[in-house]
Structure 1
Amino acid sequence: MRLIVIVFMIMYLYALSFGIFMTTIFRIPAPIIFCFPLAFVFKNKNETPFAYTRELILITVAIFLYYGIGLSEFKTFTKNVFCVMICAFYFNYFVGTNKSRWNTSVLIFYILLCGSAIMLVFDSFYGVPDIRSMFMNEPVMQSPSGIAIYQFNFGYQIAALTTFLFIYTCAFNKPFLVKVGVLAICLSLLLLGMQRSAFVVFLFSISIFLLIYYRFKGLIFISIVALLCGVYYFYVVENLDGVSNIIVKNQHNNPSHNRTSLSAENLNIFLNHPFGLIFYGKDWGDVIYRNYVFAEGMTSHNAYLMFITYLGPFLGLGLLLSIYRKITAIFLEMVRMIKEPRNALLVCLCFSFLSISLNALFHNAWLIEANGPTIFLFFCILHPYKFKMLDPVTIESSTH
């Protein structure tokens, strides 16, 4: 029985992490197929009321206003609501008050991301798009990458994984050489990952962590990171002939399509429609007319800015603050108690979530787009507080 449960957990988290919803094999949404037995057949023995009503209402309203009203994409609206709701069911009914299931879920999630990272290495040096297509059950559009259709999808995976791995070595007091070795592995994966945004958010997140955790000593660690980056550039990147990496990608980047210019143009659109596009009866195609920067119909690649552009500053920011209020409070509490051994794993998860949340500043995928790693970490971090799985002192201090 336990083996069956583990298999269903792996399959559900696989479908969630890699964005597998409905394929030629799974004519019913894959998350439903694998999560339904977990949530309602193998559910937690301790009956608990549903704890995520507030979060689901807020996220559903945000998805409806953005995709339903703003973009008129009702299929996307339905798909995203399903993915978010099923993840909430997974944590509420299957994980519940069982801390072992929570720990196992975290372990499986990051093992899956490690598998995707290994696939990236093989794809970079040997080119394995057919194998990647087999894992996704649909054609992949960009290479090299991990288990993802597009490289930007993989960027969220690698940002979450590398941040977690390095901070794990610090929070659990691993030997210095282990920290350096893991850092070297993380930099290698980020270098091959073709996602400059993932590299930036990784450096930012671990720098913040090091300064908080080690204080003045953190500057030494940041210097080591910078030195290691320099060594990588001169002794590794320069010798990667024929291997795609973020340096080569940056050299061939179209200057008119950099994130700064895209966001600047998006801000101009926002200033011309300050109440939000949905209140003017317009969509993105209407407001980018004759705009050379967005001539190809692309967006600003800033999920939060796009959201506020459609919903306006009051409704948009209000929803964002409401959705992220609790998880922000948890993050700040973890920062305050960052050296408490009992909080080590949650600290790693919080900074991993910080990385992929910042990554959304450079792409369109985020929580309301049902981005798999983002959804998982969102509910995974909330869960110990919802079900009082932490020590009483921690719970009490987090509620003030």
Structure 2
Amino acid sequence: MRKLLVITLIIAYVYTLTCDIFMSNIFRLPAPVILGAPLLCFFYMPGQRFLYGKELLVLIATIALYYIVGQGDVKGFVLCSVTALICGLYFTFFVGTNQLRFAVSVIVFAIVLLLSMLLLLADHYFQGTADAWRSILLDDVVKQSPSGLALTQFTFGYQLAAFTTLVAAFAITYRVNILYKLLIIAGCLVCIYFGMNRSALLSFSIAIGAFLLVFYKYKAIPVILIIVVGGFLFYNYALIPNSSIDDKNNILAKNQAKEANDFNRLDLSAENLAIYTDYPLGLVFYGKRWEDVTYRNPVFPDGLSSHNAYLMFLTCLGPVLGFGLLGFIYARPAKIAIDLVSNIHTKRAVVLAPLIFALFAVSFNALSHNAWLLSGNGPTLFLYFAVLQGARIYI
């Protein structure tokens, strides 16, 4: 009964974290607290010391500067800081140095993402049923479809980037037949094709391309060519001729649609850069908030969103404070990644490399969206602390 309870709580906590469920009709109090507290209080690893005091202190201080000072958003600060704090405590005191608990947490994370991908695929054939299930599983009203276990396609993009990169990198590092590797990568591309998220495709391509170059070095060039040619052939001779496949809700159709060019991300970023040039030291040093300097229109009733999390962050806090805080927050993951690159063919790389490159993918995805580590984005937070804790276990 004890093991069953622990597994149930792990599944529930990782599920709500991954799907960005904070408060809902079911969870009247913050879900991370309700589900994380029992694990931390009754099933913690004895003898563990708090490992991420500096990281969490800087993380929460940065969230406070960004949300309270920069945007006047107290609720956003509470949501993001509580989510980050519980996640850090979960990996420190519950997972600790226990390889089994770490493995179970990562596997549950991958399964939740897989369920999200399956719901996405079902959405293309049974939209009404899929939307009903999504509303039940997320305990909220569906805002955009098709998507997986997310209310919008934008937030689903982070799940998509995390899952495809994690699975593809694991398939490459794990010693299986090359045919299985290619089939797994093809499955990831199918999810991206139907996921209708161009930034996720770009993030996946860059992350896996970099991983292949690190893993195979110069031998990666023919592998990349095989994947590109295989994807081209699969699209032309499998997807297009199949009339049963949804020809409207896919990434190519979305890219060709007129509305794809409306409010182009480059235009939004250019507008953000114009604001930055007016306040080069950062809005907080001029006593300004985000809403004070952005225009209002029907599409963005709460002010302009540049759809670039880092650019918005630097606009709020300025280059010195912004880059300094980001450098501190990402310093350890970067150090772990550099160390692993030189040991990419060791056993520890089988576990850590997919997590690191998945973190890289979701972090890159934030260049086109607002959600990221400091907004309490579930997949990003999980991967961030999983990389830090995994390094303590396997290195």
Deviation per CA, 1:53-95: give whole Å up to 9, x if none.
0011111111101101111010110111110000111111111
**Cα shift at 1:294:** 7.1
State the identity as a percent: 42
Q: Report the counterpart of residue 398 of structure 1 in structure 2.
A: none
Cα 1:295–1:130 shift into 2, 3 Å:
closer
Opposite residue 108 of structure 1, the aligned amino acid is: V
**Cα shift at 1:295:** 8.6
Aligned pairs for 1:272-351 within 5 A: 272-289=278-295, 297-351=303-357
Q: Does 1:118 align with 2:124?
A: no
Tell me the distance in 2 between the aligned counterparts of 1:372 and 1:241.
Answer: 29
Taking structure 1 as the reference length, the TM-score comes to: 0.93
Q: Report the counterpart of residue 92 of structure 2 in structure 1.
A: 92
Contiguous gaps of at least 5 residues in structure 1 = 395-400
C-alpha contact (below 8 Å) 2:70/2:289 kept by paired residues: yes
Cα 1:160–1:381 shift into 2, 3 Å:
same
Tell me the distance in 1 between the aligned counterparts of 2:94 and 2:301.
Answer: 47
Q: Report the counterpart of residue 101 of structure 1 in structure 2.
A: 101
Name which of 370, 382, 389 aligns with 2:393. 389
Q: Report the counterpart of residue 83 of structure 2 in structure 1.
A: 83
Tell me the distance in 2 between the aligned counterparts of 1:283 and 1:238.
Answer: 49
Q: Report the counterpart of residue 53 of structure 1 in structure 2.
A: 53
Name which of 273, 276, 281 aligns with 1:270. 276
C-alpha contact (below 8 Å) 2:248/2:254 kept by paired residues: no
**Cα shift at 1:31:** 1.1
Q: Does 1:140 align with 2:142?
A: yes
Q: Report the counterpart of residue 166 of structure 1 in structure 2.
A: 168
**Cα shift at 1:255:** 2.4
Task: State the SS of the aligned residue for 2:359.
Answer: helix
**Cα shift at 1:268:** 2.0
Opposite residue 255 of structure 2, the aligned amino acid is: N
C-alpha contact (below 8 Å) 2:161/2:200 kept by paired residues: yes
Tell me the distance in 1 between the aligned counterparts of 2:15 and 2:58.
Answer: 26
Name which of 152, 156, 159 aligns with 2:158. 156
Q: Does 1:246 align with 2:251?
A: yes
Cα 1:22–1:296 shift into 2, 3 Å:
closer
Tell me the distance in 2 between the aligned counterparts of 1:290 and 1:144.
Answer: 28
**Cα shift at 1:343:** 2.2
**Cα shift at 1:10:** 0.2
Task: State the SS of the aligned residue for 2:124.
Answer: helix
**Cα shift at 1:241:** 4.5
**Cα shift at 1:211:** 1.1
Cα 1:378–1:235 shift into 2, 3 Å:
same
Taking structure 2 as the reference length, the TM-score comes to: 0.94
**Cα shift at 1:114:** 0.4
C-alpha contact (below 8 Å) 1:124/1:243 kept by paired residues: no
Opposite residue 215 of structure 1, the aligned amino acid is: K
C-alpha contact (below 8 Å) 2:146/2:195 kept by paired residues: yes
C-alpha contact (below 8 Å) 2:291/2:302 kept by paired residues: no
C-alpha contact (below 8 Å) 1:40/1:93 kept by paired residues: no
Opposite residue 351 of structure 2, the aligned amino acid is: L
Opposite residue 393 of structure 2, the aligned amino acid is: M
**Cα shift at 1:234:** 2.4
**After alignment, is 221-230 or 3-12 more displaced?**
221-230
Task: State the SS of the aligned residue for 1:22.
Answer: coil
Q: Does 1:34 align with 2:35?
A: yes
**Cα shift at 1:201:** 0.7
Cα 1:135–1:293 shift into 2, 3 Å:
closer
Tell me the distance in 1 between the aligned counterparts of 2:239 and 2:321.
Answer: 46
Cα RMSD (Å) of the superposition? 1.8
Deviation per CA, 1:99-124: give whole Å up to 9, x if none.
11011111111011001110101112
Contiguous gaps of at least 5 residues in structure 2 = none
Tell me the distance in 1 between the aligned counterparts of 2:200 and 2:93.
Answer: 33
**After alignment, is 359-368 or 256-265 more displaced?**
256-265
